[in-house]
Every structure is written in C-alpha cells, then in structure tokens.
Amino acid sequence: DLQSRPMSRVVGPRSGDAIFASVERVNAELFTLTYGAIVRQLLTDLEEVDEVNKQLDQMGYNIGIRLIDEFLAKSNVTRCVDFRETAEVIAKVGFKMFLGVTASVTNWDADGTCCSIVLEDNPLVDFVELPDTCQGLYYCNILSGVIRGALEMVSMKTEVTWLRDMLRGDDIFELQVKLLKQVPEEYPYKDD
C-alpha cells in the first residue's frame, strides 16, 4: 500500500533496476514491432502465404546457425547428454535468453526423439491480429527456423513444426521438435 512506503520509493528517481527493466521492455516492443513489419513486407512482396512461411523459416535458420555461438558462450551450458536435456535447455534457457519467456516441454514419444515445446506467452505476437487473407500463415515461423538452425550446428538434424498457434485460435503455441538424425561429432583435426 502506498501510504506505508517512504515517499522516495514512490516519486523519487527510479532505481537502476527499474530503468533497466523499462529499457528492456522498450527493446522487446521494438523487436516485436520490427518483426511484424518484416512479416508484413514479406506478405506484400511474396503474395503467397506459403512462400512467406518458407521465407520466415529460412530467415530463422540463418539466424539460428549464428545464434548458437552466442547461446553457448553466454549460457555456460555444457553439452547435453541426450535430446531430452537439449529440449529442456531450449525451452528454459534459450527462450528465456532470446525471447524473455520460458516454455515447457511435453508430449515425449517413447524413444525420446520427439517432443513438444509449449509457449503460453509469446512476445512476437503482442499487438498482432491476422486478417482473413492470412489464414495459412505461420506468423512465428522464424522461431522454428531458429531452433532447426541452432540444433544443426550442434550436430542434430531436426524437423520443427507448429502444432498449435494462438493466432489460429488455439489456446497455446505448440512446437513439435523431432530429432531426425544425430550426426556424430567429427574429430576436428584429421590425421589421414
């Protein structure tokens, strides 16, 4: 309650933390709006929604293959022992680092090679409403591309598919991540 707090807390200069938080929020909003502008431009340029989906996926892939270095450097995660651990790292550490939200991992198949990453909160779609003409659009397709690209750089070939999408009327976002092939790590210096 306001009255019991010292006045400076209410009207005084904002703490560094508060300023940092508001800068972060503005950054996040700028990012969201910029992404929206990119999607809108692609829709104008490419006309076909399927082409836009492909292009967003490709953009994400190109980002993902670069992002993995930053991710590994900043996160201090060590190599995962299995795909289950990898999925948890993406959901809990990766999404937090790059989107500011955490996701959860569910729907594992029996052999541990296919799961769903579920997002209840997705900052990419703040302010977004799709017109009827965009029904087939996977607005967040950049994210599936990012994951596919990042995992490829750590020797995992995956297929990443949207199963549920709040912009399509679902209650959550659900990304299915399927491990297709784990390429064995090559020793970097060949003796021949």
Interface residues with ligand MYR (CB under 6 A) are 68, 71, 77, 79-80, 86, 89-90, 94-95, 98-99, 143, 146-147, 150, 154
Between 35 and 42, CB nearer to ligand MYR: 35
The residue at minimum Cβ distance from ligand MYR is 94
Give CA torsion, residues 104, 110, 111, 116, to 10 deg. Answer: -20
- Taking the complex as a whole, how short is the minimal distance between the CB of residue 65 and ligand MYR, in angstroms? 11
Give the Cα separation of 52 and 138 in Å (integer).
8
CA angle, 116 as apex, 111 and 120 as ends, to 5°?
155
Between 14 and 74, CB nearer to ligand MYR: 74
Between 92 and 168, CB nearer to ligand MYR: 92
- SS3 state of residue 108: coil
- Taking the complex as a whole, how short is the minimal distance between the CB of residue 171 and ligand MYR, in angstroms? 21
- Taking the complex as a whole, how short is the minimal distance between the CB of residue 149 and ligand MYR, in angstroms? 9
